[in-house]
Each structure stands twice: as structure tokens, then as C-alpha cells.
Amino acid sequence: VSKSISTSSTSTVNGVEITVDSVISRNELAESSAIIIAGLQATESYADGDAYVGEDTDDPMWVWDIVGLQNAGISDTNGDCETSDGTANNILRVENNFDMNDDSDNPTGVGQCINLPNNYLSVCLDSLSVAEADYKEVVMEFKSDADLSDSNCPNTAADTSAPAIYLSTTQSEGFDLRAFTNGTTVLANVSTNVKSQEVWLFADNIDCGNSLVGSATEPVVSVFYKSVDSPRKVKFFGAYNGTGGTTSFNILRLNVGNTKDSNIILQPAVDFTTQSNISLKWHVVADTLTDLHGSAEDIWTQWDFDGSANFAALGDSLTTEEAEELQWVPGGRFSRTNLGTKDEDHRTSYGIVIVDPKGSSSSDKVKLLVPGDQVMANVVIKGSSATVTSGSTSYVPTKISPVYMKASEVSDPTMFNLIVVGGPCANSLAASVFDMSCDDWSFEEGEAVVKLVDNGNKVAMLVAGTTALDTQRAGKAVASSENYAFSGSEKMVKGATLQDITVE
């Protein structure tokens, strides 16, 4: 069957659609050529926003982004194909048609990937840098009956049933209390630093040491603790009030693995003089400021106090979850995001997990899982020959067609990834790349070596035996490497026949 088809035209021949894309015509037939597209459907038309090839046309993940192809166009000043470069920009690209900004969007989790069109490439969340076992629990909760009587504070209500904020952690010595510095708004009772697993914050109109005086609306907060050396006895550590601008005052620091020192500090969040409750925040910074967007983030908690200047609840009401009683301030922002009524775990930029805010808040509790270091994501960009599972990545070697060359044809070995076949007595590349000589060959008949070395910025593998049969045997073992114990940079292959193969 023959048919004439003009340039840029399409015709169907024997059920096959054929489009002549372009023709180069010369006087000599041998110098003429044409670009022809053939298939069940040789051409297709797309508009801006249409589903990309192979996508679900009703709910595509990837769509065409087409702008101004009929225009002459202008220069792309930033190399980013943005239409801000001019109204006549020519754009032909593919863009994602999905958002992942809450849990209902089925966001990518550990071991999962976002696949580019036709699985050309995948961007995968391979793993997180901190293992689950390296998180420690930190809890803040309101206790109406804390027993602080061992602290001997007769001038306050710090007795056997004191209303207090109780802090606990599963990390031994997880709370790092640095000695306070005496001042007009701060009282130091302990002159040395203390490590603890239990701390209480008690609000009253006066401190345990009878030095700081507050009022029913501007209470003094006394800090109590149990030390590692004396785990059964509550002791008075110090106190502070909020009338002197103490928002940068450090109450305690967390000490969880490499999360320590200035990484996470508990501080007053707002001066008491401007609030009807007491706000406390966990101020979070990274070891390197640029590792955390905006250099810092905060987790705010708000605690109500009664007419006697005592703590009364998390938020405004006891045993009730409220949106504003737990808040997060992302790095680089000043506004707070309410979390108190959220019913799913939230992870902050540093990697702290805020556990079930709604369930915890209804019990007047804030529960955190604190990582032993800032959590980083291991993101893998892979092709179709790699697989990613939670916490690990495995790769299936891609089959390639090697280029066969004689040693004399390789002028610069460092330009190639090499498989050198034959030893230094037969192959000059074995001598130069692997620093071997024929006189130094130490293997016996029936033995061969498979060796891997650096070759500049590339690699080279030697497959060489004492005899041609030995080399052939080693090559067979390498070709079926999944059946043999190849590991490390050098292995010996032994045998007497091509079926008798041992790798040592």
C-alpha cells in the first residue's frame, strides 16, 4: 500500500495513523529525509489544564501548563519560566494538580513517594534521621492535689493538695534546671544546676522564700523539683513573677540526647500584667539557626488561675479542650496556630510530636514526644529501578548494553567505568589501572580474582584468572552475581570447570 502525505498532514494507512512532521528535500535521494510519526494515534491536541499523557482524565495528578505558544515570546530573565517575565511568555511544561496540606489529602509518609508522570522519576520520603526509640515523652498537666509539703513553704498554699502544673518525662535527668540569678523579679534558692525527671510550677501571691510579692492577678510562680539524688523529696528551686517583663526568663531546659542546652527551653510567654491567665512556651531553636526556618519556633500553653492567684486549669475551663490553650508558632511567623481541639498528632519543624491535642487537652494535659536531635528527612530521588520502604532504600541494577573496547583503544581509562577482563599478562589495562604486573601475579591455576577499585571519579572492576578458563569462570560468576557471595572490594573465584564455581 502506498500513499502520498504532505508535510504536517496526517493520514491512516492500514489502521496506522501516520503524520509527516517535516521533510528535508535534496536533489540527491540519499541526502533527503523525513521525520514521520506513526502509531495508533500519531498526534493529539492539548489545552492548558488538560490531563497529561497517561493520567486519569477525570482526576489527573499531572496536567499541561500551556501559555502563549502562539506568541513570539520574550527572554526568560530568571530561568524559571514565570509569567512575571512578561505577558507574552511562551510556556510548555507539566505541573502537579494536587495539594497536600492536611491529613485528608493522603500526604506522603515515610517509605512513600510522589511519582512524576509515567513514573519517570519518584521523589521519596525514605526515612527520618531520628529513630522512634530516640523520642522521649514530656508531659505538662494540671494537678489539683500536688503534694509539695516536703518543701516547707509555710507562707504559701504549697501543701499536700496544692494546685500546680506538673511536668514529667521518661528521660532520666530530662529536665535541666540552671541556677536562677537573684533580681527584682527572680529569686534563686539553689545555687547549682540540677537535673530532674519531675518539676512542679506553683502560683501564689507570694513565693516560697517570702521575697517576691505578687497579687491575685499578678501571681508569683515557685518552681519545685525532685532531684536524682533525692527522688522522694520535693524541694524548692526558685521563683519568678511576671511584673518585670520576664518573657526571656528560662525556667528549665530539656535534656534528651542531643536535644539539650538551648535547643528547647521553657519560658514565660507573656507578662502576667497583660493576661488573665499564665502563658508558658517551649522555645525551640536548632544547633545551627539556618537548620530551622525562621531560626526558631514556639509551642504555647495557656493556664488559667483563680481569684487566689492559684493555677486552676489548662485553658479557661477544667477538663475541656479549647483551641487556644495549646498553640504553635512556626518559625518566621508571629501569629499562633490553635491546636487545642485538633484530634491528630502534629509534628513541629524541629521534629517534636504534639500527641493528640484534643484528647490530652480535655484532661488538662499537654503531651510531647521530644526527639534526641533535630529531625531531618532523607529524601531520595529515584528511577524506576529503585524501591523505597519505610526506613530503607534498595536498588535493582538497570540492565545496560556495554561498549566493548580493546585496551589499546582506551586512551584515558578515567573517562570510563571499566570492566577489565584478563590479568596483567594479557591486558595492559589490568597493569595500569590496578597497579599489577605479570611477574607479580600470585594466583594458581583454577583461581581468578574479581577486584573493584576507584578509577578517578569512576570505578573499575577486574575479572582475571590464571588461565583463560579461570577468567571465563570468574566472568560467569560476575554475570550471575546474585547467586554468589560477592561483597567488599575483592573476591577470589575458584573451580575446575564452568559448573564448579566457588566465590571466597
Residue-by-residue pLDDT tens, the chain, 504 positions: 788 888 888 888 888 888 888 887 766 776 678 888 887 777 788 899 999 998 999 999 999 999 877 665 555 556 555 555 545 567 889 999 998 887 788 889 998 999 999 888 999 999 999 999 999 999 999 999 999 999 888 667 788 899 999 999 999 999 999 999 998 889 999 999 999 999 999 998 888 877 888 777 778 899 999 998 888 899 999 999 866 556 679 999 999 999 999 999 999 987 665 567 889 999 999 999 889 988 899 999 999 988 788 899 999 999 999 999 999 999 877 789 999 999 999 999 999 999 999 999 999 999 999 999 999 999 988 876 555 554 454 555 555 667 788 888 888 999 888 999 999 999 999 999 999 999 989 999 999 999 999 999 889 999 999 999 999 999 999 988 888 888 889 999 999 999 999 999
The residue assigned the cell 583503544 is 409
Amino acid in position 421: V
Q: If 0-12 CB within 10 Å is exposed, 13-18 middle and 19+ buried, where does residue 462 land?
A: buried
Residues 6+ apart with CB under 8 A from 449: 423, 443, 462, 464, 465, 474, 490, 491, 492, 493
CA separation for the pair 218, 129 (Å, rounded): 43
Question: Phi and psi of 279, rounded to 5°?
Answer: -105, 130
Q: List CB contacts of 473: < 8 A, sequence separation 6 or more.
A: 448, 465, 493, 495, 497, 498, 501
Give domain limits for the chain.
Answer: 132-375, 407-503
Cα–Cα distance for residue pair 272/309, rounded to 1 Å: 11
Sequence-distant (6+) residues with CB within 8 A of 251 are 177, 201, 223, 240, 265, 266, 267, 268, 280
| Residue 309 cell numbers, joined | 492567684
Burial class (CB within 10 angstroms; exposed 0-12, middle 13-18, buried 19+) of 181: exposed
Sequential DSSP letters for 472-495 = HHHHHHHHTGGGTT--SSEEEEE-
For residue 381, CA distances in Å to 112, 121, 386 come to 12, 7, 9
Give CA separation, 222 vs 68, 176, 255, in Å.
68, 16, 21
pLDDT tens-place string over residues 223-268: 999 998 888 899 999 999 866 556 679 999 999 999 999 999 999 9
Q: Measuring CA to CA, which residue among 292, 48, 306, 320 is closest to residue 163? A: 306
Q: Is the pTM of this model over 0.75?
A: no
Is the separation of the CB atoms in 463 and 471 below 8 Å?
yes
Cβ atoms of 470 and 447 closer than 8 Å: yes
One-letter identity of residue 217: T
